[in-house]
Structure 1
Amino acid sequence: MDRLPEFAAFDYADKADAGPKWEKWIRRLELLFTGMDIEDNGRKRALPLHYAGERVFDIYEAEKGHTAPNYAATKQVLADYFSPRKNPQMEVYKFRNCKQNASQSLDEYVTKLRKLSKDCEFADADNEILSQIIQNCRSNRLRRRALREPDMNLKTLLDLGRALEVAETQALTMEAQNERYSVNNIRKPPGKQRSRNPRSKDQVTKSESNIDKPCGNCGLTHSRTSVCPAKGQQCRFCKKLNHFQRVCRAKKRASGQHRNPNVCMR
């Protein structure tokens, strides 16, 4: 008789996470069956009880009842113990209420939906995932495109969603670079010159007190005598000149924001 190869026992420490660990352990054991060309049902039943360890063997003896002494039944007894069946209705509820959050990519969201769908007993999981993405994804562009094309399948939707994510990332990077370029090209105020009519101390104090207030056109802090970096620039939101999108009053009104009374107006 051939000597049995070494195989790690089942690490059963906490029943709360034993289900996924058991599924992974039994899949690895079945790969061993394939590698050793084990097809005999009796040997396949005996090996998990041998390799899993004494504690698992005791669990099987207590839980087996009148089940048949074969591999499939033995495997099911232990699977039911470590991974008790969940309530399909509750799992469907969790699936339906799963929305893509701000930090998730589309692929991460789909992975989460696939995990939730395993316990929902859907007849067509891909179709359910497709519907869930259309309803609860963050991208309005992706949603509108999917609604315009009702025959779109899940693969096509995911390809489109990934392309939109890449385009959005590139656009944000370019916009940030453009704003930094605009700020870096501010003309420096002319050097100090002697004034024939020097300002009074009160005038200097009043002028310098405005330096620490953000400008209402660019959002930066600079003195009133400096050239505003937003001068001549077009707002990407309202398309008007001489201010940036981040301080656009039309955008703030559209989003329900209130004007900050500390922001200086130009």
Structure 2
Amino acid sequence: MGIMSVRNLAVGNSVGEQMESSRAIPPFRCYEIEKTKLHKEWQIWKRSLEYYFEAEDITDQKRKRAKLLHLGGPQLQAVFQSLPNSEKFAVVSLEKAYYSVAIQAFDDFFQPGRQDVLERHILRKMKQQDGERFIDFVIRIRQQINECGVDKYEPEICKILSDIMLTDIIVEGCVSDELRKQILQKDRSVEEIEEIGKSLEGIQKQLKDLASSREEPKLYERVYGIQAKRRYQPSKQNRARDFQSKFKNPEIKCFKCGLFGHFSTDARCSAKGKLCNRCKKSGHFEARCRMQLGAPLWK
């Protein structure tokens, strides 16, 4: 391959990358998606496409179909070419519904990958997680309801079914017994249930914060009080001094120095460390030496 060919290939790749990055939304690579996830991914991609049309104020049916196929990419274009109903327009119509017909054909094609019964089973098992906000739980329920096939019905019926499912799952899966009790007492709208749930959650959080603030001084005293007690480890001399201070008696006489008011174990004893001239031992005065001609000095 010559230098010019390599350069042209590099330029081509660069142009392709720039075109890819300039797309409003990424192409829908349906051949690379698992069959069980194909319908869900198609719904997500189609929703992004509708947002794009709304942002760009694109309403013309023919232009919308052209954008659909252009943004969808080669794989979606190949599927479109094989769909039998992609050009099946109504016999009597003032304007051909190019986009609506194409979208319906794609919906029918990707529909078999969805299992509504399985999705409803997943919905019924949903529970509010520990620490999960009530509003986040409601959002998760709504997202799962959208996977249960309610979109095949008319908008009014779809909303009724969605509200019924949402209410049932909140009753079964919410962590608030008070919310469950209020829902079961009387029929309530979804909007009312959401408002009660958020209100009860806010009250519960305030009560928890208040209880925590009241507990902090006790916790501080309990923790630091125990630590202070454990940190204070009296020495042998201090224990003797504490004992003496508790049972201090002016009649007590130290047998090592002969003075009153303390025990022989007291660190303040004046005979501590002194050498006895009689027995040559340390810790007492000669006048208080026990040994005198082989017998105790005092009784």
Q: TM-score range by the shorter chain?
A: 0.5 to 0.7
Distance 1:66 1:146, change over 3 A: closer
What's the counterpart of residue 189 of structure 2?
153
- 1:48 counterpart residue number: 68
User: Residue 65 of structure 2 contacts residue 102 of structure 2 at CA under 8 Å; is this kept in 1?
Assistant: yes
Question: Contact between 1:45 and 1:74, CA under 8 Å: does it hold in 2?
Answer: yes
Supply the distance in 1 between the matched residues of 2:216 and 2:100 (Cα, whole angstroms). 65
Partner of 1:126: 163
Which residue, 216, 224, 242 being the options, matches 1:195? Answer: 242
Residues 197-212 of structure 1 mapped to structure 2, 5 A cutoff? none
Return the letter of the residue paired with 2:197.
G
| 1:72 pairs with 2:100 | yes
**Greater C-alpha radius of gyration:** 2
TM-score by length of 1: 0.59
Partners of 1:183 and 1:30 in 2: how far apart?
59
Mapped partners of 1:9, 1:109: distance in 2: 29
Counterpart Cα distance in 2 of 1:25 and 1:184 = 54
8 Å Cα contact 1:10/1:25 also seen in 2:
no
**2:172 is aligned with 1:135:** yes
Kindly indicate which of the two structures has a greater share of residues assigned to helix.
2
One-letter amino acid matched to 1:50: H
What are the ranges of 5 or more consecutive residues in structure 1 without an aligned counterpart?
A: 1-5, 199-266
Structure 2 stretches lacking a partner, 5+ long: 1-21, 89-97, 151-157, 246-299
Change (3 A) 1:24 1:185: same
- Give the Cα separation in 1 of the matches to 2:133 and 2:142: 14
What amino acid is aligned across from residue 206 of structure 2 in structure 1? Q
Q: By how many angstroms is 1:9 displaced?
A: 5.5
Inter-CA distance 82–21: structure 2 relative to 1 (3 Å threshold): farther
Q: Does 1:12 align with 2:28?
A: yes
d(CA) in 1 for partners of 2:164, 2:85: 39
- 2:50 matches 1:27: yes
Residue of structure 2 aligned with 1:173, choices 184, 191, 209: 209
After superposition, give the CA deviation of every residue in 1:146-188 in whole Å (9 maximum; x if it has no partner).
222x122221121111111111111112212212112334677
Work out the percentage of aligned pairs sharing the same amino acid: 19
* Matched residue SS, 2:243: coil
Q: What is the CA–CA distance in structure 2 between the aligned matches of 1:53 and 1:147, rounded to whole Å? A: 50
Distance 1:137 1:171, change over 3 A: same
